[in-house]
């Protein structure tokens, strides 16, 4: 009976103990009418049967990659635990979960009682009573065998029989299971059911507004998980102050989230939904938005009148990842005094002084960042190395593509690039690192300026070429585009795959991204030995433990084909994410 108590605790969280009440919810099935109108967080999920029978899940389970993942040590250990569970309760886990969640599962947090509650529409009142008697007997038998007191306390409230287990209050109204950590919240749910009061979640105006807001998914799509958060309540309670008060702690956070933070500082609620499609899983997150919330300090993020949009310059078919976005970097840099605290501004002032020196006296914010349009694209790609120039650790190449405001800046940028390479050579020489050799070429009117690390013919590289040999910094010009990459090969690839936007209509997305997980997996596999060594050093694992952890990561990566995401500002801030799995069909 070892670990039986721990098993019972985990099981109780999902199945719990129940007792009959005066009536069922057959004529009033919406459990949202049981929840108080002071509910601050609410989430509902469809039944386990719906999820397991969905084509997405069936496609995932039938794939060779998933079957391979299930043969890994961690998966076998999990399966062994499930076998023990099924033996203890005398039923298959899948069968239990289907019966438990037959009508869906609901989770809520109430701001008045500061309690949380789980409501599950089970198969039937008879099923839950019969099944939970098994769990009660299991927990009590285990406690008795160890000479421990009865772990379950019982009580009645208005004719509803309830139980307390591990500080959880458990009861049921017909087939609806109720589990809460606050007795006050549990009693209010029973009161609301028995008295048929109207002070419930479904009548809360903010909830109605949020729940009925449209998603960016096709109209026929049905979410398998849907959640509502009362942001006003969380903000007033002091939860996640930096996030909900619109503050960024550093330059990077402001660059990535600034416009979203501005809306979080003002918005009243947030919604999230998860959708399953045949070979994809997608998620939508949205919060109300008004242009006035971002038109001043965060205009660098959303653009004039909130119309800043991403432009994709490069055909992403051959890329590992690309991210197109609207960010007025010059305006962000120059507005730093209004956006950051004194500490961050001191750091930026020091960086500005260094960068101005590096760029031959040009002001970094005005002359350098101000030379490019706000539409920028970040890219990454696998690298192919010559056999004699292959570094021990192989990294992807990455870069930035943007449009020049003034083509006359080419000469200045070329000179600054050469100064930058000279700086790298100077600092590298003091540390005994390889030196960079400058070169230039013109391909079909495209200018390409590159710097490559020199492999010394008389030097032995016993541990392979150092990590620096992943880099051949390159500056290229293609029409009015400027391309800066970590490797010459990527700059050439980009300059031959530039595409033009001929739609005549600006896209609505502020940011969009795409990731090729298969390419990422290939890079990780090529560095498997280095990842294992790093895991041993950083986590103190043995070699078998490190190998198991890295192989599990690779196994998970093998399930994914690609990922896409987008951020949009209209009447809502909308963030959408989509993951495509690898299917054998």
DSSP single-letter state for residue 511 = E
Q: For residue 398, list its beta bridge partners.
A: 380
Q: For residue 117, list its beta bridge partners.
A: 108, 180
Average pLDDT over residues 78-93: 67
Distance CA 486, CA 484 (A): 7
Long-range (24+ apart) CB contacts under 8 A made by 417-424 are 417/449, 417/473, 417/475, 417/484, 418/449, 419/358, 419/359, 419/360, 420/358, 420/473, 421/451, 421/473, 423/358, 424/451, 424/473
How many Cβ atoms from other residues are within 10 Å of residue 424's Cβ?
Answer: 18
Token pair for 454: 């020199």
Q: Would you place residue 318 in the very low, low, confident or very high pLDDT band (cuts 50, 70, 90)?
A: confident
Location of structure tokens 């790609």: 381
Do residues 128 and 135 touch, judged by C-beta distance below 8 A? no
Phi-psi region of 500 (alpha: psi -120 to 50; beta: other; left: phi over 0): beta
Location of structure tokens 């009682």: 113
Distance CA 119, CA 29 (A): 12
* 468-503 pLDDT per residue, tens: 999 999 999 988 899 999 999 999 888 777 765 544
Do residues 61 and 75 touch, judged by C-beta distance below 8 A? no
Do residues 245 and 270 touch, judged by C-beta distance below 8 A? no
Domain residue extents for the chain: 4-39+48-194, 310-507
* 22-65 pLDDT per residue, tens: 334 444 468 999 999 999 999 999 998 888 888 888 877 777 77
DSSP string over 39-87: EEEEEEE--HHHHHTSHHHHHHHHSHHHHHHTTSHHHHHHHHHHHHHHH
Do residues 55 and 280 touch, judged by C-beta distance below 8 A? no
Q: What is the pLDDT of residue 231?
A: 94
Average pLDDT over residues 441-456: 89
Query: Which of 20-34, 275-289, 439-453, 536-550 shows the lowest per-residue confidence on average (mean pLDDT)?
Result: 20-34
Distance CA 557, CA 69 (A): 10
DSSP string over 373-400: EEEEEEEEE-----GGG-BSS---EEEE
**Nearest in space to 44 (alpha carbons), one of 244, 239, 201, 231:** 201
Average pLDDT over residues 530-551: 90
* 278-317 pLDDT per residue, tens: 888 999 999 999 999 987 889 999 999 888 999 988 887 7
* 65-80 pLDDT per residue, tens: 777 777 777 776 666 6
DSSP single-letter state for residue 419 = H
Do residues 356 and 363 touch, judged by C-beta distance below 8 A? yes
Do residues 382 and 352 touch, judged by C-beta distance below 8 A? no
Q: What is the mean pLDDT of the chain?
A: 85
The continuous run of DSSP H or E covering 110 comes out as strand 105-110
Q: What is the pLDDT of residue 218?
A: 67
Q: What is the pLDDT of residue 356?
A: 82
Q: Would you place residue 83 in the very low, low, confident or very high pLDDT band (cuts 50, 70, 90)?
A: low
- In this predicted structure, the answer to whether residue 86 has a pLDDT above a threshold of 80 is no
Q: Would you place residue 2 in the very low, low, confident or very high pLDDT band (cuts 50, 70, 90)?
A: very low
More confident residue, 324 or 504: 324
Average pLDDT over residues 256-267: 92
Share of the chain above pLDDT 70, in %: 89
- In this predicted structure, the answer to whether residue 7 has a pLDDT above a threshold of 60 is no
- Cα dihedral value 134, 135, 137, 140, nearest 10: 170
CA-only gyration radius of the chain, Å: 29
* 158-190 pLDDT per residue, tens: 888 887 888 888 888 889 899 999 999 999 999
Query: Which of 32-46, 86-100, 310-324, 448-462 shows the lowest per-residue confidence on average (mean pLDDT)?
Result: 86-100
**Nearest in space to 331 (alpha carbons), one of 289, 303, 290, 312:** 303
**Nearest in space to 518 (alpha carbons), one of 564, 582, 583, 585:** 582
- In this predicted structure, the answer to whether residue 351 has a pLDDT above a threshold of 70 is yes
Helices and strands, number each (H, E), in the chain: 21, 20
**Nearest in space to 225 (alpha carbons), one of 172, 168, 265, 285:** 285
- In this predicted structure, the answer to whether residue 5 has a pLDDT above a threshold of 70 is no
Q: What is the pLDDT of residue 193?
A: 92
Q: Would you place residue 134 in the very low, low, confident or very high pLDDT band (cuts 50, 70, 90)?
A: confident
- In this predicted structure, the answer to whether residue 546 has a pLDDT above a threshold of 60 is yes
477: helix, coil or strand?
A: strand
DSSP string over 163-216: EEETTEEEEEETTEEEEES-HHHHHHHHHHHHHT-S-BGGG-HHHHHHHTS--S
**Nearest in space to 416 (alpha carbons), one of 468, 453, 363:** 363
Q: What is the pLDDT of residue 24?
A: 46
- In this predicted structure, the answer to whether residue 239 has a pLDDT above a threshold of 70 is yes
How many Cβ atoms from other residues are within 10 Å of residue 547's Cβ?
Answer: 18
Do residues 216 and 48 touch, judged by C-beta distance below 8 A? no
* 382-417 pLDDT per residue, tens: 998 888 888 988 999 999 999 999 888 888 889 889
Token pair for 506: 């600006």
């Amino acid at each position: 009976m070892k670990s039986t108590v721990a098993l019972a605790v985990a099981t109780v969280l999902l199945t719990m103990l129940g007792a009959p009440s005066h009536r069922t919810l057959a004529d009033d099935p919406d459990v949202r009418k049981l929840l108080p109108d002071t509910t601050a967080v609410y989430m509902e999920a469809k039944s386990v049967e719906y999820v397991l029978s969905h084509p997405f899940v069936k496609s995932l389970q039938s794939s060779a990659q998933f079957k391979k993942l299930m043969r890994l040590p961690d998966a076998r250990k999990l399966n062994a635990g499930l076998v023990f569970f099924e033996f203890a309760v005398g039923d298959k886990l899948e069968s239990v979960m289907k019966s438990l969640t037959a009508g869906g599962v609901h989770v809520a947090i109430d701001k008045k009682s500061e309690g949380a509650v789980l409501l599950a529409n089970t198969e039937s009142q008879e099923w839950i009573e019969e099944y939970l008697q098994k769990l009660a007997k299991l927990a009590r038998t285990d406690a008795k065998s160890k000479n421990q007191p009865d772990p379950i306390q019982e009580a009645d409230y208005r004719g509803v029989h309830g139980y307390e287990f591990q500080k959880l209050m458990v009861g049921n109204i017909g087939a609806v299971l109720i589990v809460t950590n606050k007795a006050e919240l549990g009693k209010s749910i029973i009161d609301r059911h028995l008295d048929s009061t109207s002070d419930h979640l479904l009548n809360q105006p903010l909830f109605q507004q949020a729940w009925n807001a449209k998603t960016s998914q096709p109209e026929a799509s049905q979410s398998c998980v849907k959640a509502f958060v009362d942001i006003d309540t969380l903000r007033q309670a002091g939860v996640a102050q930096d996030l909900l008060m619109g503050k960024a702690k550093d330059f990077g956070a402001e660059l990535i989230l600034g416009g979203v933070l501005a809306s979080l500082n003002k918005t009243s609620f947030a919604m999230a939904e998860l959708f399953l499609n045949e070979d994809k899983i997608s998620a939508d997150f949205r919060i109300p938005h008004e242009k006035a919330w971002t038109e001043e300090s965060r205009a660098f993020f959303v653009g004039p009148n909130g119309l800043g949009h991403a432009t994709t310059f490069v055909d992403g078919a051959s890329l590992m990842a690309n991210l197109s976005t609207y960010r007025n970097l010059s305006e962000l840099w120059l507005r730093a005094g209004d956006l950051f605290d004194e500490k961050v501004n001191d750091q930026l002032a020091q960086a500005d002084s260094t960068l101005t020196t590096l760029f031959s006296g040009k002001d970094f914010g005005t002359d350098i960042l101000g030379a490019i349009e706000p539409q920028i694209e970040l890219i990454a790609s696998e690298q192919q190395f010559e056999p004699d120039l292959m570094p021990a650790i192989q990294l992807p190449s990455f870069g930035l593509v943007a449009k020049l405001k003034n083509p006359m800046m080419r000469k200045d940028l070329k000179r600054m690039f050469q100064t930058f390479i000279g700086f790298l050579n100077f600092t590298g020489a003091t540390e005994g690192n390889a030196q960079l050799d400058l070169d230039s070429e013109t391909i079909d009117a495209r200018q390409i300026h590159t710097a490559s690390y020199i492999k010394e013919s008389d030097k032995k590289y016993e541990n392979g070429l150092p990590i620096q040999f992943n880099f051949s910094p390159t500056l290229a010009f293609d029409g009015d585009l400027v391309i800066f990459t970590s490797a010459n090969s990527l700059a050439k690839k980009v300059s031959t795959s530039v595409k033009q936007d001929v739609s005549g209509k600006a896209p609505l997305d502020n940011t969009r991204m795409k990731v090729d997980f298969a390419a990422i997996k290939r890079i990780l596999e090529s560095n498997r030995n280095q990842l294992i060594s790093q895991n041993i050093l950083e986590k103190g694992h043995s070699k078998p433990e490190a190998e198991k952890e890295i192989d599990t990561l690779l196994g998970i990566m093998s399930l994914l084909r690609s990922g896409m995401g987008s951020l949009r500002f209209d009447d809502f801030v909308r963030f959408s994410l989509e993951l495509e799995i690898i299917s054998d069909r």
